[in-house]
Amino acid sequence: MSDNTINNKRIAKNTLFLYLRMIIVTCVGLYTVRAILHILGVVDYGIYNVVGGVVMMFSFLNGTLSTSSQRYFSIELAKGDLKKLNQWFCLNITAFSSFLLLFMVVAETVGLWFVNTQMTIPAERMFAANVVYQLSLVSFCVNFLSIPYNAMIIAHERMNAFAYISIIEAVLKLAIVFLLAIISWDKLIVYGILMFLTSCGITLSYVVYNKINFKESKFRPYWNKKEFMELLGFSGWHIFGTMSVAVRSHGINILLNLFFTPAVNAARAVAFQVYHAVAQLSNNFFIAVKPQIYKSYAAKDYEGLYKLIMRSTIMCSFLVSILVFPILANIHYILGLWLKNVPEYTVVFTQLVLINGLIDSTNGPTIAPALATGKIKKYQQVVALLIFLNLPISYIVLKLGAGPQMTMIISIVISLVTALVRAYLLRSMIGLPFKKYLLMFLRMITGSAVIWGVIYFTLYNSVHSFVMLIYISLIVCVITTALYVLIIFDKSDVKSLLNLIRKHGKHI
């Protein structure tokens, strides 16, 4: 059996585990959002999300260090050097501690000042907002400590463990809903406490699993200045990139709070919950693919790497499309069915964020190979600068009197440009054939536009019952799949898939 066949089977197996996780986590997540919005109310739910968003502005640290850990761990595993893997593990924890100390200093000074003096929060909820802020800080620190352990599980491609722990987390969040319903104290504060305890439990689960299964995850004091500077150089430029993403997400949320009310933040939070549920499809697939990209680069299998980038880009787009288009077609009915009271702007926010998410679903396969090279200074400078533009441009249009939805339209335009720039930069970094990638990307844009056009003029907003929702959604899925096969998928891949189906069909 060839290495490619073994790798494809491993990707398929790991993707299956991650989809099991996704189905449970998504269902529980959507229910808990609906329940928490009802229990806390629109204002408190908006406060929780925007105050937590100040803390999550620093989530670029999580993304950066998680990616750097996975990159170094996967490469050392590909080389079979477990001693070096352990050294990188220990060095990562040392570096994480430095970043965490810096984070706490900034969060307890600048962050605390911003929450208390600049944000639009009702005076009677200011105490609760401060308590939630402190709990969010501690939760962030606890989650931060789980990064190298989480990265070790992914590098070893033990996606079953990753899936099971995520399912446990979803169950704990479901339990929080029932506890909030029976507790009579300040529910916003209690919610913050319970979410903090959940973070502690999940982090402990990752640590224990690593201690039992991976001897190379044993921490011991280790220091190497040269390796630390290499890690710092890699992480430093990657921080620049992930910071821009955090600014686009959480910075825009804070910006909306400065111009509007917490109710707008609540509507945006609901829209992003829908997006995150949908994005799990491509994220789970790409989590399974990412180690193979790192290992293909380490093995200098560039032709295999190019094919993996192209195919995974299309698959990520398809997996998101198969959910995005049915939701867009039935958006009014779905939101009305899901939420007891749909906050103002929720419908338009959800539509725009799903379109943005469809574009962003193609990013992973062009980010991972750049990170695999370790030479990311120019790449991160260009890409981060483009993404950073979301904040000043959004500020200008809001200052001119535009509605809050304009921030998402700006994000869509910048995301389109950034997706192509990423691939163009890979041309000089790893020799990616940009012309071939561009044609593929244009097929995806054209195909998506055709799919939406067909749906909009035939099926949009025509659902009035749950049975009809299922029926229309299935039709949309068929239309989406058919047009992907006709317009977007590479013909050779479609032919290979049909041959595989015929081969297995003969044995049924």
pLDDT in tens, the chain (508 residues): 455 555 555 555 655 666 666 677 777 777 777 788 778 887 887 887 777 777 776 666 666 667 677 777 777 777 777 888 888 888 877 777 777 788 788 888 888 888 888 777 888 888 988 988 888 888 888 888 788 888 888 777 777 777 788 788 888 888 888 888 888 888 888 888 898 899 889 889 888 888 888 888 888 777 777 777 776 666 666 666 677 777 777 788 888 888 887 888 888 888 887 877 777 666 666 766 777 787 788 778 888 888 888 888 888 888 888 888 988 988 888 888 887 777 788 889 999 999 998 898 888 888 888 877 877 778 878 888 898 899 999 999 999 988 899 999 999 999 999 999 999 998 888 888 899 999 989 998 998 999 999 988 888 887 788 888 888 889 999 999 888 888 888 777 666 555 544 554 444 4
Packing angle of the helix pair 262-298, 3-56 (nearest 10 deg): 150
DSSP 250-315: IIHHHHHHHHS-HHHHHHHHHHHHHHHHHHHHHHHHHHHHHHHHHHHHHTT-HHHHHHHHHHHHHH
> Would you say 234 and 380 are in contact if contact means Cβ atoms under 8 Å apart?
no
> Would you say 203 and 146 are in contact if contact means Cβ atoms under 8 Å apart?
yes
Per-residue confidence (pLDDT) for residue 369, from 0 to 100? 85
Residue 490, C-beta contacts closer than 8 angstroms, at least 6 positions apart: 310, 311, 314, 440
pTM for the complete prediction?
0.69
Task: Name the 3-class secondary structure at 336.
Answer: helix
> Would you say 291 and 369 are in contact if contact means Cβ atoms under 8 Å apart?
no
Helices (H), 183-224: 187-213
Structural domain boundaries enclosing 126: 3-505
Q: Rounded distance, CA 95 to CA 103, Å?
A: 13
Number of structural domains (the chain) is 1
Residues in the chain: 508
Q: Rounded distance, CA 307 to CA 433, Å?
A: 10
Residue 99 has a CB neighbour count (10 Å cut-off) of 18
Q: Rounded distance, CA 197 to CA 141, Å?
A: 12
> Would you say 383 and 241 are in contact if contact means Cβ atoms under 8 Å apart?
yes
